[in-house]
Structure 1
Amino acid sequence: GPPHGIQVERDKLNKYGRPLLGCTIKPKLGLSAKNYGRAVYECLRGGLDFTKDDENVNSQPFMRWRDRFLFCAEAIYKAQAETGEIRGHYLNATAGTCEEMIRRAVFARELGVPIVVHHYLTGGFTANTILAHYCRDNGLILHIHRA
C-alpha cells in the first residue's frame, strides 16, 4: 500500500527481479463463492502471483463476502502448497459502513491473507483513511482502487 510502496508487497510475496503477475477474476459477477475460489486457485496454480476482487465483487446474495474470503484463502493455501511459492489474493473490504469494512479486514487478517483492497470512491475518503490506519497498525497491505 501507499505507506509501504511496492517493496513490502514484493517482500510479502517473495518476488524480486521481475514484474508481479496478477489478474482480476472474471466474470466478476455471477459465480458462487466456491466457484470464485476455484477460479482464484486455477489462476494462482497456473503461475500468477496474485488475483484481485473487482469493485463489483462485494457481498451479493449469490456470493456473500465471508464465504468468498474463506474459499479464496483456501485457494491461496492450496496453490502455495502445490507450487512452493507465495501467492496472494486482494480481498475486497469495501462495505456500506466503516464498522463492516473493518470487520472484513479483521477477518482477512485472521485468515492470514496479507492484502485487502478498498474502492475509495465507493467507500469514501474517510473510510479509506480508517482502513489505512487499521491495515498499517495490523500488518496488512492496503491496495487502493479508484472505483
Structure 2
Amino acid sequence: MRWRDRFLFVAEATMKAQAETGEIKGHYLNATAGNVEEMIKRAAFARELGVPIIMHDYLTGGWTANTTLAEYCRDNGLLLHIHRAMHAVIDRQKNHGMHFRVLAKSLRMSGGDHLHSGTVVGKLEGERDITLGFVDLMRDAFIEKDRSRGIFFTQDWASLPGVMPVASGGIHVWHM
C-alpha cells in the first residue's frame, strides 16, 4: 500500500506549504492502477484527504477506466488531470501509428478536465500550427476545417465538455 503512504505524505506537505506561504499549492496524486476498482479507491482516498485534483495516465490505464474515473470525479467534486504517458510510442512515428490529435479527441469523448498536451516550445515541442489545431479541438465547441492546422473537417462538439490543455507543471499552453 505504498500509494496510500505517498498520498498522505504529499497531502500533508502540500497543506503545510500552503499554510506557511498563504499561496495555493497543489500536486496531482496519480490514481492510475492495475484495475478500475483500485483507481476509484485511490480517487476516494484523495478526496477524503481534501485533495482537489487527481491524475490518470489515460493511455496506460485504458479508455473504460478513464471514463469511469472521469465520471467518479465529476460526481464527487474532483478535477481529473490527464497525463499521456506512452503517447510517443503511438504518435511520434511519422510512418506508422496515429497523430496525437486522434488521442486528444478520443480523450475529450472519454472525459477529463485537463490534458498534458505539449507545447510549441520545450521538452514536449510539436509543430506550432498543428499543436494549436489540436489545442482548439480539445477546448472549443465548434472548429472549422483548416488543413494547415491539422483539422481535416469542420467539427461541432455540441454540448460535449472541452478539455483544458496544459503543459509540463500545469502551465497553460498559451503561457508558453
Output the TM-score relative to the length of structure 1.
0.56
Instruction: Report SS of the residue matched to 1:22.
Output: coil
Contact 2:108 2:138 in 1 (8 A): no
Q: Does 1:140 align with 2:156?
A: no
Using a 3 Å threshold, how does the CA distance of structure 1 residues 140 and 77 change in structure 2: closer, same or farther?
A: closer
Matches within 5 A, 1:74-85: 74-80=71-77
Match of 2:16 in 1: none
Using a 3 Å threshold, how does the CA distance of structure 1 residues 75 and 18 change in structure 2: closer, same or farther?
A: farther
Structure 1 segments of 4 or more deviating over 6 A? none
Alpha-carbon distance in 2 for matches of 1:131, 1:24? 26
Q: How many residues align?
A: 112
Contact 1:117 1:145 in 2 (8 A): yes
Q: Give the superposition deviation at 1:130.
A: 3.0
Indicate the structure (1 or 2) with the bigger Cα radius of gyration.
2
Matches within 5 A, 1:63-78: 63-64=61-62, 66-78=63-75
Q: Give the superposition deviation at 1:77.
A: 2.9
Alpha-carbon distance in 2 for matches of 1:20, 1:104? 30
Alpha-carbon distance in 2 for matches of 1:35, 1:133? 33
**Could you tell me which of 21, 30, 34 is aligned with 1:25?**
30
Aligned Cα RMSD in Å? 3.1
Match of 2:126 in 1: 125
Alpha-carbon distance in 1 for matches of 2:139, 2:59? 25
Match of 1:6 in 2: none
Higher relative contact order, chain-length normalized (CA < 8 Å, sep 6+)? 1
Q: Structure 2 regions of 5+ residues with no counterpart?
A: 1-21, 92-98, 142-161, 170-176
Output the TM-score relative to the length of structure 2.
0.49
- Could you tell me the percent identity over the aligned residues? 6
Q: Give the superposition deviation at 1:103.
A: 2.7
Q: Structure 1 regions of 5+ residues with no counterpart?
A: 1-16, 81-86
Contact 1:90 1:115 in 2 (8 A): yes
For 1:104, give the aligned amino acid. Answer: S
